[in-house]
Amino acid sequence: YLLCVVVLPQYGFSGRVMQIYPCLAVGYFILFILYAEIIFLYYFNDLTGALLATLGFCLVTWAGSVLSAGGSDLWYGMGLVAGSFTGFTIAYFRLRFMERHMDEHIFCGGQLFTVKRERMPESMVYTKKQKER
């Protein structure tokens, strides 16, 4: 951020672009962390959590952008910041829930074999019988 604030005005990026940039930099930082959380939610097969996080992001970003468009140039990126933070928060709490209930939500949550309490079977699998003459 500091490098962009110092270097970009020398190449003609100033004025409105540099006023909007700080909010967008913060918003995209949170958004990239949100992307990682959504991938983790997919990994844990929590499609509902991924959907809730992305819907929260989209709706709050849209509403925040509509509201911030009427303000000054400094706040134009607040819709992205608010939406990213909302999606991040939803995904964070879904991941915490998944970690607390990990054994119920792993891909192979059930048992592959039924557990029996009995004597161990014979280890001999096959015997060839001799023909009688």
Residue 133 lies in a domain: no
Residue 128 lies in a domain: no
Average pLDDT over residues 113-131: 79
By residue range, what is the domain housing residue 59? 11-105
Q: What is the pLDDT of residues 18-46, one digit of tens each?
A: 778 888 889 999 999 999 999 999 988 88
Using CA atoms, how far apart are residues 5 and 12, in angstroms rounded to an integer? 12
Q: With 80 as the cut, is the pLDDT of residue 109 above it?
A: no
Listing DSSP states for the chain in one string gives -HHHHHHGGGGT--THHHHHHHHHHHHHHHHHHHHHHHHHHHHTT-HHHHHHHHHHHHHHHHHHHHHHTTS-GGGTTHHHHHHHHHHHHHHHHHHHHHHHTHHHHSTT-S-SS----SPPPPS----PPPPP-
Radius of gyration of the chain (CA): 28
Residue with the bigger pLDDT between 110 and 13: it is: 13
Average pLDDT over residues 117-128: 81
b/e code 93-122 from CB counts within 10 Å (16+ = b): ebbeebeeeeeeeeeeeeeeeeeeeeeeee
Residue 5 lies in a domain: no
Residue 121 lies in a domain: no
Residue 117 lies in a domain: no
| Total domain count, the chain | 1
Residue 127 lies in a domain: no
Q: Give residue 8's pLDDT.
A: 75
Residue 22 lies in a domain: yes
Residue 120 lies in a domain: no
